[in-house]
A and B are shown apart, each in its own frame.
Chain A
Amino acid sequence: MSIQLRNLTKRFGNVEAVSGVNLEVQDGELLALLGPSGCGKTTVLRMIAGLEEPTEGDIFIHGERVNHVPVQRRNIGFVFQNYALFKTMNVFDNIAFGLKVKKCKPAEQQRRVQELLKLFDLEGLSQRYPHQLSGGQRQRVAIARALAIQPRVLLLDEPFGAVDAKIRQELREWLVHLHDELNLTTIFVTHDQEEAMEVSRRIAIFSRGRLEQIGTPREVYEQPANEFVARFVGVMNVLETVVQNGVARCGELEFPAHGLDEGRAMRIGFRPYAVQISPDLGQYRYRAVLRHTFFLGIMLRLELELPSGLTVRARMTKEEYNALGLHDNCEVSFQIKAYRILAQEGAPLPPETSQIIEMPPNLGEGI
C-alpha cells in the first residue's frame, strides 16, 4: 500500500478544513480527489506532501509514518496549480533543479533531463524560459520537474485548471497514458467531476472536509453513498415531494410511498437517462412540452416543461432523437423509469433506499 491516511484532520484556527479522513491508496493507483472548492481536498494533498502539518491523525507512505518528515525528505513529486515554475530558469534548469539539489553528477543530470525532455515532447524547448511557453507546455515542464527526482508518489493540484478547454482534453488523455507508462502512484485534485471520471480509476469525493465516498467512477455514479455524492456526480433531477394519500407528490409527478405518514417531505432524485420520452401523447403517463434541446456531441440534453411549470431534464442519443422525430416546443409524453430517495423528513434513510428504485408499472405507463 502506497499511502495511508488515518483520521487525518486539519484545523486553521477555528475552521476545520479536513475532518477525520481515512483513505488508502494502492501502489501504482491513479486516484482523484474530487469536491467543490473549499472542501479540503487540496489541504489533504498538501498534507501528504508535507507542505501543511496535520492537526491530528497520521500519514503513512509505504508503511512509514511521515508526519514529522520535512517536505524535503518525503521524496514526493508535487505539481502546483499554477505550475510554480522557476521563472528565472530555463526549461532545462527547471527540470534539473531537483537533480542538482541531490548532487547528481553533471553527466547523469544531462542524461536524465534529456530523457524527460524526450518523454514530455519538450526537446526543442530546453533553452526557453517559462514565460515563453504555452499553458500546456508549462504543465508538462512542471510534471517533468517533479518526476526528475524519481519520487515515490506524484501529487497534482488542479492540473488542468490553467489551460483552455481543448488542450485540457488532450492533457487528460496524456496524463492517463503517462500513468500507464510510469505506473507511479498518482493523486490529483479536481473540482470537475467529468475530469475525475475520465482520468482516474478511483475517485475520492470530499465535501466540507469530509470524505463522502471512495470508489470507481461507475460506483460513485450508480451507487452514491449519500445525497451529496448523488447530486455532485453527474446531472440529477431533484424534486421536493410531499406524501399525500400514499404517494409522494411534486406537481403532477408521483412516486410510491406506501405506509408513510401523510404530509411527510421527501427529496427524490432521478438521472436524466431514466426519463423515457415519446411523441405519442398516450404512451406514457405524463405530458410535457420539449422546451430546449442542447447538443452535447453524440448525446443530447432535453429540457421538458410540465404543465405545472416543473422542469425535467432528460437525455438521449442523436439517433433516438431523430427516430422519435422530436423538435423544440413539441408536445410529448414521458415516464420516469427509476429514481432514488435522497432524503426524507424526520428519519435517516434506510440503506436500501440509496439504491435505485424501479418505478412500479401503475405509476409509469399511460392510462
Chain B
Amino acid sequence: MAGYVKSQIQTPRRSLRRSTDEPAWVRWALTALAMAFAGVFLFLPLANVFAQALSLGWQYYQESIAHPHTLAAIRLTLLIAAICVPLNCLFGLAAAWAIAKFEFRGKSLLTALIDLPFSVSPVVSGLMIVVLFGAQGFLGEWLRERGIQIVFSIPGMVLATVFVTFPFVARELIPLMQAAGSDQEQAALTLGASGWRTFWHVTLPSVKWGLLYGIILCNARAMGEFGAVSVVSSHIAGLTDTLPLRVEKLYNEYNAAGAFAVASLLALLALATLVIKTWLEWRVAREEQLAQQGPMLSAGDIAGNSVEK
C-alpha cells in the first residue's frame, strides 16, 4: 500500500516535491542543530576525557592505570560483569521464553516487572538491596547469624548490578521470540527432538544475534554501573571499588588526570560496545534483507527447476 502510494506520487515530481519535502533551509537547520548538539554534548566530552587523561603525559597515564588500586578495580569490575552477564543471560532467556511462548496468569505483570530496573533510579535499586540484606533489613538477622556478609561487600555489589542490568537481554529477546512463534519448536518435537535439543538447535540459533546484542548492552551497563553499586559498596580502595567508583574517588582526591585516565578505560569500553553494536545491527539488517529478497531471487528457479513431475 505504502509503496503503491509512493510510486503514484513520484510521477508528477516537480509540482509535488514542494508539498511533500521540507524547504532546504529547514533540512539544513535541523541537521546542523542535531550535529551541533552531538558535537557539544557527546563528542567534546569524550575527546576531553582522553585529553585530560593524557594532560600529564603518557607516563603518568600508564602509572595511573598500573596503580594497584586501579588494577584491583579492573579485576573487580571484570568479576562482577563475569557473574552478572551469564546470570542475566539465563534469566533473560527464561523470562523471554516464558513470555513469548506460554500463556499464563500474570504475564503482563511479569512483562512490566522486567522493565522495573529501567524505571527505578539506580540509587533506589542499591537502597533496596540494603533494606533487604542490610543489618537492619528483613534478612539481616538471619544472615548475620550465619556470618554471611552481603551489603557493603562484593555479593551486594553483584546483586545490585544483576538487578540494574536485568532487562537488557530479556528486552531484546521478547520481541524476537514472539515474532518467531513456536512453530519451529513444535516441528522439532514432531521430529522426535527433546525439549533440551530443541532449545539448543532450534530456538537459540534463531535468536543468537539478538542475544549477543543484549549481552553486549548488559555487559556495558554492568561494567559502567555507578549509582546502585555505590550504595552497597564499602568504598575500600583495592577491595570494593569498581572502575566507576575508582574514578569518583580519584576525582574527589583532586587527581583529575588519574581520574580521567581510569575514565578513559570506561570510554574505550563504550566505544568498543558501540562498534560491536553497530556491526550486530548491520548483520541483522542484512539477514532481514536477505530473507525478504529470498523468494524473489529464487523465482527463476521455479521456471528452471520444474516444480512438479
Query: Which A residues have a C-beta under 8 Å from some C-beta of B?
Result: 49-51, 71-78, 80, 82, 84-89, 97-98, 101-102, 121, 124-125, 128-137, 145-146, 148-149, 167, 170-171, 173-174, 177
A82 contact from B183, B188, B189, Cβ within 8 A = B183
- Residue from B187, B189, B191 having most chain A Cβ neighbours under 10 A: B191
The yes or no answer to B31 lying at the interface (CB within 8 A) is: no
Nearest CB in chain A to that of B184: its residue: A84
The yes or no answer to B18 lying at the interface (CB within 8 A) is: no
Query: Which B residues have a C-beta under 8 Å from some C-beta of A?
Result: 183-184, 186-194, 197, 201-202, 205-206, 208, 290-292, 294-295, 297-299, 301-302, 305-309
- A101-B197, A131-B290 known; A77-B298 Cβ under 8 A: no
A131 contact from B187, B294, B309, Cβ within 8 A = B294
Could you tell me if B184 and A51 are in contact, using CB atoms closer than 8 angstroms?
Answer: no
Nearest CB in chain A to that of B189: its residue: A71
- Residue from B184, B206, B299 having most chain A Cβ neighbours under 10 A: B184
Could you tell me if B190 and A71 are in contact, using CB atoms closer than 8 angstroms?
Answer: yes
Inside 8 A of B294's CB, which chain A residues have their CB? 129-133
- Residue from B197, B295, B297, B307 having most chain A Cβ neighbours under 10 A: B307
- A86-B184, A135-B295 known; A72-B302 Cβ under 8 A: no
Could you tell me if B192 and A174 are in contact, using CB atoms closer than 8 angstroms?
Answer: no
Question: Can you list 19 contacts pairing A with B, beta carbon distance less than 8 Å?
Answer: A71-B190, A72-B190, A72-B192, A76-B190, A86-B201, A86-B202, A86-B206, A87-B206, A88-B202, A97-B188, A98-B192, A98-B193, A121-B307, A124-B305, A130-B294, A132-B297, A136-B302, A137-B301, A167-B307
- Residue from A50, A101, A102, A167 having most chain B Cβ neighbours under 10 A: A101
Inside 8 A of A145's CB, which chain B residues have their CB? 187, 191
Shortest CB distance A159–B (Å): 14
Nearest CB in chain B to that of A88: its residue: B205
A145 CA to B192 CA, complexed, in Å: 12
A72 contact from B189, B290, B298, B306, Cβ within 8 A = B189
- A80-B183, A134-B302, A135-B295 known; A149-B308 Cβ under 8 A: no
Could you tell me if B187 and A84 are in contact, using CB atoms closer than 8 angstroms?
Answer: yes
Could you tell me if B291 and A131 are in contact, using CB atoms closer than 8 angstroms?
Answer: yes
Could you tell me if B206 and A88 are in contact, using CB atoms closer than 8 angstroms?
Answer: yes
Inside 8 A of B197's CB, which chain A residues have their CB? 101
Could you tell me if A132 and B308 are in contact, using CB atoms closer than 8 angstroms?
Answer: no
A174 CA to B208 CA, complexed, in Å: 37
Inside 8 A of B291's CB, which chain A residues have their CB? 87, 131
A170 contact from B298, B305, B307, Cβ within 8 A = B307
Nearest CB in chain A to that of B204: its residue: A88
Could you tell me if B184 and A132 are in contact, using CB atoms closer than 8 angstroms?
Answer: no
A73 CA to B191 CA, complexed, in Å: 9
Inside 8 A of A76's CB, which chain B residues have their CB? 190
A132 contact from B192, B202, B298, B309, Cβ within 8 A = B298
Inside 8 A of A51's CB, which chain B residues have their CB? 186, 189-190
A124 CA to B201 CA, complexed, in Å: 25
Could you tell me if A86 and B192 are in contact, using CB atoms closer than 8 angstroms?
Answer: no
A167 contact from B187, B208, B302, B305, Cβ within 8 A = B302
- A78-B187, A146-B190, A167-B302 known; A173-B308 Cβ under 8 A: yes
Could you tell me if A134 and B295 are in contact, using CB atoms closer than 8 angstroms?
Answer: yes
Shortest CB distance A362–B (Å): 53
What 10 A-B pairs have minimum CB-CB distances, sorted nearest first? A131-B294, A84-B183, A98-B191, A88-B205, A131-B291, A78-B190, A84-B187, A174-B308, A170-B308, A132-B294
B186 contact from A80, A102, A121, Cβ within 8 A = A80
A87 CA to B181 CA, complexed, in Å: 13
Shortest CB distance A321–B (Å): 32
A139 CA to B167 CA, complexed, in Å: 38
A129 CA to B291 CA, complexed, in Å: 9
Could you tell me if B192 and A133 are in contact, using CB atoms closer than 8 angstroms?
Answer: no
Inside 8 A of A74's CB, which chain B residues have their CB? 190
A200 CA to B189 CA, complexed, in Å: 27
Nearest CB in chain B to that of A133: its residue: B298
Could you tell me if A77 and B190 are in contact, using CB atoms closer than 8 angstroms?
Answer: yes
Could you tell me if A171 and B308 are in contact, using CB atoms closer than 8 angstroms?
Answer: yes
Inside 8 A of A82's CB, which chain B residues have their CB? 183
A97 contact from B191, B290, B301, Cβ within 8 A = B191
Could you tell me if B308 and A101 are in contact, using CB atoms closer than 8 angstroms?
Answer: no
A77 CA to B193 CA, complexed, in Å: 13
Inside 8 A of B187's CB, which chain A residues have their CB? 78, 80, 84-86, 145
Inside 8 A of A98's CB, which chain B residues have their CB? 191-193
Could you tell me if B184 and A87 are in contact, using CB atoms closer than 8 angstroms?
Answer: yes
- Residue from A50, A98, A173, A177 having most chain B Cβ neighbours under 10 A: A98
A176 CA to B292 CA, complexed, in Å: 31
Shortest CB distance A251–B (Å): 43
Inside 8 A of A128's CB, which chain B residues have their CB? 298
A171-B308, A177-B309 provided; 7 other pairs, C-beta below 8 A?
Answer: A72-B194, A74-B190, A124-B305, A125-B301, A137-B305, A148-B191, A174-B309
A261 CA to B186 CA, complexed, in Å: 58
Nearest CB in chain A to that of B292: its residue: A131
Inside 8 A of B183's CB, which chain A residues have their CB? 80, 82, 84
A49 CA to B290 CA, complexed, in Å: 33
Shortest CB distance B287–A (Å): 8
Inside 8 A of B309's CB, which chain A residues have their CB? 121, 174, 177
